[in-house]
Amino acid sequence: MKKNIIVTHVDADGIGSLVNIVRLTKIREYTAYYVNPEDLYNKLYEIARDIKDVSKIFISDLAPNRDKIKDLVMILKDLSKKDVEIFWFDHHIWDPMWIEEIKNVVAKLYLDTSTCATGVVKNALDPKDDFANELEKIICSIDLWRFDDPRSPWFTRIVSYKNTDDWRNLVASKLLETYDPYKFIEWGRRFIEESIDEELSEYDKYLRESQTYKVSDITVVGVVKRERSKIGTSQLAHYLLSAKNADIAVLIRMNGSISLRSREYNVREIAVKLGGGGHKLAAGGRVNLSLIDKMLMRIGLEKIVVKKILNIIGDIVSQKASHETDH
């Protein structure tokens, strides 16, 4: 029997879109890979190199990176030549050129910036499915920063309980097993309850470690986010924006990837300058960390690195403000 592969994002929307793909396509067996956008090309390269008996590849909640688009198209062409059907679902903002190039080498490309990736999959495959609709409401509340569904804080805490692919697979399997958001929350409640004290302690620690940078009347707050953190990215960013009365939150990881969040400022413009992309209020990019930077972060001197990165982002904000003034 030929295999199915799903390559999706590491967050709640990545898991939600995977669940809707499995439910609505009725595939029985699949292999899931969870990646960040900057790692998409490398993962597809590995799949193309080692591919055997694969029928379909589904990509969800991931957009191409500007500096890898041509290489990515070549990999997709290679996969298509091996009779692999590729279906891509995303809700991020794409450059028109990317759309044309990708459309020509995949079976189907579904793009919709009005919803989350979980909703893109639902709309493409079965808009009337009750469970898929409920899952879309919950996940979009988290991913699009709406915070308009009372079930979403439970979901994001359960998803963030462990930052491992084994945990993400377990979360997905429980959603596919229950097909009921409330039963899923009931299953995950014990994990939240046992980690609540640790989560509160983390919030306090992140607040102490955070730094602010002010440029052109814009306040930027930044902190290094640990890989084993119990707190989700959007939760932490939302907290820091409020606690520091900031306009932009910058969450930095040990590998140099950066998450940007804001309530009003267009952070995607910053992310694009950093080789990434995303949405107006939620985006991501990457900075090159030197060996010294990584050593400083590992021995507890990350504030030096945070200051350096905030200076880089401050320069981008300043250049944008200067450009707008000139025009």
Domain boundaries, the chain: 3-189, 210-326
pLDDT at 312: 86
Checking 190-194 for CB contacts under 8 A at 24+ apart, the result is 191/157, 191/158, 191/161, 192/154, 192/157, 192/158, 192/161
CA–CA dist 61, 19 (Å, integer): 12
pLDDT at 28: 86
* pLDDT-flagged residues of the chain (< 50): none
The full length of the chain comes to: 327
pLDDT at 210: 94
Fold (topology level) of 210-326: Diaminopimelate Epimerase; Chain A, domain 1 (3.10.310)
Query: Does this chain's domain 3-189 share its CATH topology with 210-326?
Result: no
b (16+ CB within 10 A) / e for 7-39: bbbbbbbbbbbbbbbbbbbeeeebebbbbbbbb
pLDDT at 247: 94
b (16+ CB within 10 A) / e for 151-164: bbbbbbbbbbbbee
Report the predicted TM-score, pTM, of the whole model to 2 decimal places: 0.84
Kindly compute the dihedral angle of the four CA atoms of residues 164, 117, 230, 131, in this order, to the nearest 10 degrees: -90
User: Does domain 3-189 bear CATH number 3.40.50.2300?
Assistant: yes
Q: Which residues pair with 55 in a beta bridge?
A: none
pLDDT at 326: 56
